[in-house]
Each structure stands twice: as C-alpha cells, then as structure tokens.
C-alpha cells in the first residue's frame, strides 16, 4: 500500500472515529442528564357548611404559582353523592380570564396568584341541614422558555446535534475519498 493510500485510509478512520465519538457523546448527554420535571399538586378544599334545598352557593380560594406552569390534570377528587347537588369549578388568572376545570389540562398558568371559584347547586331533594363540601386538585408542571421541561426537548436538541456531526463526518469522508480518487 502506498504512503498516500495509508494517509487517506488513516484520515477516513479518524473522521469516522470523530463522528462516532460526537454521536455517542451527544446521545449520552441527552439521555443521561435530562431530568424530567415533576408535577406538583395543589389541592383546594371547600366547605359549604349547612345548605338548603335548591340553594346556589359560590366560594373562592386563591393559590399562587411561583413560576409559569402547565396544567397536567385538573379534577374534583372528593365530593358528595351526585344526587345531593352539582359542582362547577373554574380557575381565574386575571379579572376576566377564567377557564372551566374540565378545559384546564394543557393550559398555561402564568406565575402569580390564581383564583379557584366553585359553584354548588344544591338539589331540591336535599334534606334541610345537610353539610356539603368538595376538594379540587390541579397537577402542575413547571415551564421554562415556553417548553415543558420533560427532557424530550433536550434529547431532541442533542440528537439533532449528533446527526449534524454524523453528517459532517460523512461529508469529510466523501471529500477525502474524492481527493484520493483525483490523485489516482
């Protein structure tokens, strides 16, 4: 084998090794170090006390989110039997920006104070002196730079970088091969 052939072969091996090392490093960084964000639950309890048949009551409570958060889940977790009345809940982030509980998943709550408003409509069949209450839960996931921090964005970015590095290695190999072909 001539000296030029050995040099070209060595360059191809080095380029391939560099591309594979870059790919392995990028994948390791993306998979090994991207920690998923954990959900935080906020539970809000309402005690409507003693109610009368056919009565309508509304109650509000405030909760704070220190950072922007995505609503992963929102539900009524404890209530009275449905034949005693119905509940409707909503979360308000401003004076007029209110969203019903069942439409909250996927919504973004800005950092700050929020109001949970619950309306109870007592059934006409409820005996006088009944006590009614409910508990509502929001599961929130912190958001930063408009991307939910689940690790998937970081993995996508590192995989894209790895593919670019691999493509650069392939182009380098093609250039070396082309140069070798011109010398022959």
d(CA 133, CA 12): 73
- CATH code, 120: 2.60.120.230
Q: Are residues 79 and 126 in the same domain?
A: yes
The total number of structural domains in the chain stands at 2
Per-residue confidence band for 151, with pLDDT thresholds at 50, 70 and 90: very low
| pLDDT 10s digits, 43-86 | 999 999 898 999 999 999 999 998 999 999 998 887 777 778 88
d(CA 35, CA 153): 11
Q: Are residues 43 and 126 in the same domain?
A: yes
What is the pTM (predicted TM-score) of this model? 0.57
Q: Are residues 122 and 157 in the same domain?
A: no
d(CA 62, CA 83): 28
Contact between 83 and 130 under an 8 Å Cβ cutoff? The reply is no
Residue 183 has a pLDDT of: 63
| pLDDT 10s digits, 115-132 | 999 999 999 988 877 888
Q: Are residues 163 and 140 in the same domain?
A: no
Q: In which domain, by residue range, is 65 found?
A: 39-146
């Amino acid at each position: 084998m001539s000296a030029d052939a050995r040099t070209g072969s060595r360059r191809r091996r080095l380029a391939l090794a560099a591309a594979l090392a870059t790919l392995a490093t990028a994948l390791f960084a993306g998979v090994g170090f991207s920690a998923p964000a954990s959900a935080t639950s906020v539970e809000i309890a309402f005690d409507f006390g003693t109610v009368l048949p056919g009565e309508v009551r509304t109650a509000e409570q405030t909760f704070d989110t220190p950072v922007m958060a995505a609503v992963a889940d929102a539900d009524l977790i404890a209530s009275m039997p449905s034949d005693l009345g119905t509940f409707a809940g909503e979360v308000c982030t401003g004076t007029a920006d209110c969203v019903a509980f069942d439409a909250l998943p996927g919504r973004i709550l800005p950092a700050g104070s929020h109001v949970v408003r619950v309306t109870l409509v007592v059934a006409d069949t409820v005996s006088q002196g009944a006590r009614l209450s409910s508990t509502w839960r929001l599961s929130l996931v912190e958001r930063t730079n408009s991307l939910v921090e689940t690790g998937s964005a970081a993995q996508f970015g590192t995989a894209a970088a790895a593919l670019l590095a691999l493509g650069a290695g392939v182009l380098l190999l093609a250039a070396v091969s082309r140069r070798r072909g011109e010398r022959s």
